[in-house]
Structure 1
């Protein structure tokens, strides 16, 4: 039978696991956003150099519509 102390520590462990999962999810999201912004910046530079949209799309993974809007 669990006592109150065991329940307390189980709740703390669950909370720590939840917070850790949220932290890593946030880090993952931040990396993805950073990668997306880097791709957009590279596309802007390539576009300013007169590179064809098709080539920019292949290199960055952006769509032609996304590139045209830069």
Structure 2
């Protein structure tokens, strides 16, 4: 018996927030990305498992685009 999966692809756009107090202490900029953790927890509570997460940064606007791929067993 093989498992059958269903997949969900989610795109999330978020503005980049720089935590200024951390910038001087770190060799690279430290970023906070709003709403991503809430999204992951929401789908996790519905039985979705995150299998891939890609980040695309628009350097002109300082926006992030997140492509998230989730899967769960088909009901």
User: TM-score band, normalised by the shorter chain?
Assistant: under 0.3
Given the two structures, how large is their TM-score scaled by the length of structure 2? 0.25
Higher helix share: 1
Compare CA radii of gyration and give the structure with the larger one: 1
Q: Which has the higher contact order (CA 8 A, sep 6+)?
A: 2
Higher strand share: 2
